[in-house]
Structure 1
Amino acid sequence: MARIARKTKRYPSDLTDEERDRLAPLMPKPGRRGRPREVDFREVINAVRYLVRSGCGWRMLPVHFGAWQTVYGWFRELARRFLFQTIHDVELMLDRARQGREESPSAAVIDSQSVKAPSAEMRGFDAGKKVVGRKRHIAVDTDGRLLMVNLTTADISDSAGAQAILDAIRKRWPWVKHLFADGAYDRLKLMDKASYMDFVVEVIRRSDRQQGFNVLPRRWVVERSFGWMTRWRRLVRDYEKRIDVSHAMILVAMGGNLLRRNAHP
């Protein structure tokens, strides 16, 4: 990390030149008409990564990133164009290929995380975790890379949120056939839908005789992914009012991890 930090401009979250070069082909091209574009997309990405990593507010961005209104406006525009989703998925496939694996995974691990969401338009109460906020339903590959995320209110059950995950995985990652889950996903509706969509759901249960903490096969992978996610302080809680903005923040964080891993192996 010290070697990488020397290549950044100001903050550890800034893009290095190698990372900038990997993103350059994906950036929007300037229009043929109108006033020439004055925005440096590298600075916009740097500002968004700084915000997500440090957990600060939009109005508290350092002034050398430019006006926060400009950064926020371009963040919403790039999210609307699915740029952060594209960066994440491209880097995910490249990282799998770099590790000698097929670019499209064939197995995934699903789980959920309830987080407080003080500013959300709609919130729910998770009675099990005693949390008022949103729930993140995610699917990761067997190495912990994020494949899919579905955001709901916290009162939505794990199995209900996973049904939307199944639909999304089939469209984006069609080769996934095997799913690992815990006992909360062993529900009739979910199992029927998984069987209808040609998924195999393997439920990994905790032993009744187990005492204390014990690492369970496969399930520890998704817990580690939640840990990677919450290292970006903006994601410790869900501070976003809109679900689409919160979704983009998650993609910025997890895509940033993959980008740095590929650019600096």
Structure 2
Amino acid sequence: MRSAWRLVLAILAGRVWRVSADLVPDELWDRIAPLLPPRQERRHRYPGRLPVSDRVALAGIIYVLRRGVAWRDVPVQVVGCSGITCWRRLRDWTEAGVWPALHQALLTELRAADALNMDDCAVDGSHIRALKGGDHVGPSPVDRGRPGSKHHVIVDRQGIPLAVSLTGGNRHDVTQLVPLLDTIPRIGGLRAGRPRNRPKRMFADRGYDFDKYRRLLWKRGIKPLIARRGVAHGSGLGKTRWVVERTFAWLHRFKRLRIRYERRADLHHGLLQLACCIICLRRLQAPSQKDQ
């Protein structure tokens, strides 16, 4: 009987290891492991149960991010830990600033591999539903009775996310232009020259058509290429701005980002940053591959 139980446990352990390896490949784990905060030492007397490994907890977080399931519905037999454990690790790592550090490290690697083009950047926002309310939630501009939030993102010429933010659904896109620029990390990666955190040209749609923000961009040494309201289409800016729409499509492939369920804005923003890191890692693994 004991041998049968041992066999079952071995099978489950092997399945959990395969799921963790699929959700958290070695390329991702090798980059994120040095950034994780150290865990508290166990007590010598009455130490309690062994803590779940960080890699298994990260696999559970990515499982929720991809599948969009509730934390309580995380399958322990598949992932290897409970959803509440994954939620706690997400909370701790978000408060420790793990995701911005990982994002900056990946952007630095991309620039070193000549896979990052910051000369031309595009900015836009996307509205999502917020079913449980919380911080940074506001009425939808389309339906005032439905609360929601907005994802704001700046991408490079190839659609690689450089900075993301989360606001209420009633916030105008243009109000987040300067804060987004300020959150672009200093990206190194080149032997010569200083780290870079400013593009040369900024593309945006008609929602950013305000002379005040054009002047702010010029002061920062950025040439604004913003579509004018009341002017017929055909300016040609759509040939460059489509990359930011594609990036939103990439982000919303992670089902947990399509609808906001987290009441805490920092946790949803942490999931958003983790999705950006996964996109950067995919581009780093195949920098010359063109998306269909």
Does the alignment reach a TM-score above 0.5? yes
> Quick one: structure 1 residues 171 and 90, their matched pair in 2 at CA, closer, same or farther if it must change by over 3 Å?
closer
Say how many residue pairs are matched.
253
Tell me how far apart the structure 2 counterparts of residues 264 and 57 of structure 1 sit (CA, whole Å): 32
Alignment partner, residue 259 of structure 2: 237
Q: TM-score, normalised by structure 1?
A: 0.82
Q: TM-score, normalised by structure 2?
A: 0.75
Residue among 192, 195, 208 paired with 2:232: 208
Residue deviations 1:121-175 (CA, integer Å, cap 9, x gap): 2532343587631111211111111111121111111111223223323877533
**Residue pairs, 1:3-152, within 5 angstroms:** 9-10=18-19, 14-30=23-39, 34=43, 38-64=51-77, 65-98=80-113, 100-101=114-115, 105-122=118-135, 123-128=137-142, 132-152=147-167
Secondary structure of the residue that 1:9 maps to in structure 2?
helix
Alignment partner, residue 4 of structure 1: none
> Quick one: structure 1 residues 97 and 134, their matched pair in 2 at CA, closer, same or farther if it must change by over 3 Å?
same
- Say if 1:19 and 1:263, in contact at 8 Å, map to a contact too: no
Shift of 1:218: 1.3
Structure 1 residue 190 corresponds to structure 2 residue 213? yes
Letter in 1 for 2:54: F
Tell me how far apart the structure 2 counterparts of residues 9 and 231 of structure 1 sit (CA, whole Å): 22
Name structure 2 gaps, 5 residues minimum: 1-16, 188-195, 288-292
Tell me how far apart the structure 2 counterparts of residues 244 and 147 of structure 1 sit (CA, whole Å): 18
Larger radius of gyration: 2
Identify which range, 140-149 or 105-114, moves more after superposition.
105-114
Residue deviations 1:105-131 (CA, integer Å, cap 9, x gap): 344210010111111225323435876
Alignment partner, residue 155 of structure 1: 170
Name structure 1 gaps, 5 residues minimum: 1-7
Residue identity (%): 28
